[in-house]
Amino acid sequence: MNIMKKNYCLFAASFFFALSLSVSCSDAVIAPDPVLPVPAPQQVRWQQMERYAFIHYGLNTYADAEWGYGNVSPELLAPGKLDCRQWARVLAGAGMKGIIITAKHHDGFCLWPCEGTDYDIASSPYRDGKGDIVRELSEACREYGLKFGVYVSPWDRNRSDYGREEYVGYYRSQLESLLSGDYGEIFEVWLDGANGGDGWYGGADETRTIDRRVYYDFPSIDSLILSLQPDAIIFSDGGPGCRWVGNERGVAGETNWSFLRGGEVYPGYHAAGELPSGHEDGDTWIPAECDVSIRPGWFWHADEDSLVKSPEQLLDLYFKSVGRNANLLLNVPVNRDGLISKADSASLYAFNNLLSREFGYNVLKDAAVEASSERGRPFRAENLVDGDYDTFWSVPDSCSAPSVRFSFVKPEKLDKIVLQEYIPLGQRVVDFDVEYLSRDGMWMPVDCGEQTTTIGYKRIVRFRPIETEAVRVVFRESRGPVCISAVEAYLRDYTQAPE
Ligand code: FUL
């Protein structure tokens, strides 16, 4: 349908636009009813963070491993120059809004002094066994205005009791110690889907299989987390706070619904192919998060220093995650000195500069805005360009396929458009088109090479640069009247308002 859609008759489209402008839909000033499911307020705040960093660091950093077996000595953790303030400074400087650290990865080693195990930082030479990297980082995050989150692997390849009920009690006590408030507010708790397999298991050195659906009793783990940190977003393959995007390349679906069918997706879910787009018929708000590493591995390896993603690659990931209604969780591993390497910080800063070049000046700010229909003054089309997410343009319930047009005094150049739905009332848009007025007065589709289906919290449509006197967005299909918070348009390296 989508390909066919691109071949529609332009004449008919222009006729439709002219017709819809002349039809006056009945004026209603109450906001549209929500279209379920809708996000919790903390999910809206989380989505507004857009991009934040992962840090993978631990014994794997020294053992040159990705999945530690759980048998490496804590003696290895002896970073000469470890400085959590450097991590926070670099990441905040690169525009990240928070940091999530591997407090415990699959090897079971804890970066904080953890009761119930001696496979932790207290057994390492770091600060003579008196260190606590979770605390140091949480304080550095506060200092640099970043939110702080923890990755706490359910799988533990070190524990002798892994696979038995006792282990689940131990795991819960770990969550309690991390989330009880000692480390301040935690914005996200990351529950990985890798669960069970071979490991050291206290010397048993064997393979252990658990039933991923029932072993941990995840619903009660979620309740425990939320009882301690009510605003925390819980990540897992199936949420409940946010979901895995289904790949580790950092790429969301062009069509991306922020819903899943409740209770269907669990950590280690078999049909990960459903996750980039979500479930269109889902009944539970579970938006996507794109986790991806700046290097091939999640942990630091000397031989990957030359393989750090370039600023242009990071920019592309931004468009394919944040630009497709997902959040970007970008991993930046800390090296053996206990620092973010220069290669990584250089790429991150340059990526941040590229973003400023991409989004320098919103050319729609000076445009005349004209909608095919409006739902009364509080929902007028000018809300699209007022820079306030909480005001939005909407149309009467009876209006289908509305459109909005932006006209310039003189031709403007642009190469991308940013659209935002007002998600507190639900995700609605199913199908839309971006068009521009050609020199001969025809409405032409922009050349974006992507499906223009869902929008959600944010959708960025990049296209071959155009020069035009007007652009318009036609909302062809929607689950209820559209509620659009913002439409912006940009041209790379265009940073000045016109004279
Ligand atoms: C995966 C883990 O197995 C990797 O080691 C890494 O932590 C990544 C973010 O999630 O599932």
Give the model's pLDDT for residue 267.
83
Beta carbons of 222 and 234 less than 8 angstroms apart:
yes
Rounded-to-integer distance, Cα 79 and Cα 187, Å? 27
CA 115 to chain centre: 33
- pLDDT attached to residue 195: 85
Q: Tell me the CA–centroid distance for residue 106 and ligand 1, in Å.
A: 9
SS3 228: helix
Verify whether ligand 1 is closer than 6 Å to residue 192 (CB atom): yes
DSSP single-letter state for residue 159: -
Which amino acid belongs to residue 223? Answer: S
Confidence at residue 27, expressed as pLDDT on a 0 to 100 scale: 46
Closest protein CA for atom 10 of ligand 1: 192
Report pTM.
0.94
- Return the half-sphere exposure (C-beta side, CA atoms, 13 A cut-off) of residue 232: 30
Instruction: Tell me the C-alpha distance between 308 and 304, whole Å.
Output: 7
Quick one: pLDDT at residue 194?
82
Which strand (E) or helix (H) includes residue 320? helix 311-321
Pocket test for ligand 1, best of 61, 151, 191, 192 (most atoms within 8 A of CB): 192
Regions of the chain short of the pLDDT cut 70: 1-28, 495-499
Q: Is the CB of 235 under 6 A from ligand 1?
A: no
What three-state secondary structure class fits 27?
Answer: coil
Closest atom of ligand 1 relative to the 153 alpha carbon: 7
Query: What HEC string does 163-208 produce?
Result: CCHHHHHHHHHHHHHHHCCCCCCCCEEECCCCCCEEECHHHCCEEE
What is the pLDDT at residue 420?
99
For residue 238, with 0-12 CB atoms within 10 Å meaning exposed, 13-18 middle and 19 or more buried, which class applies? buried
pLDDT score, position 17: 38
Tokens encoding 240: 């409940």
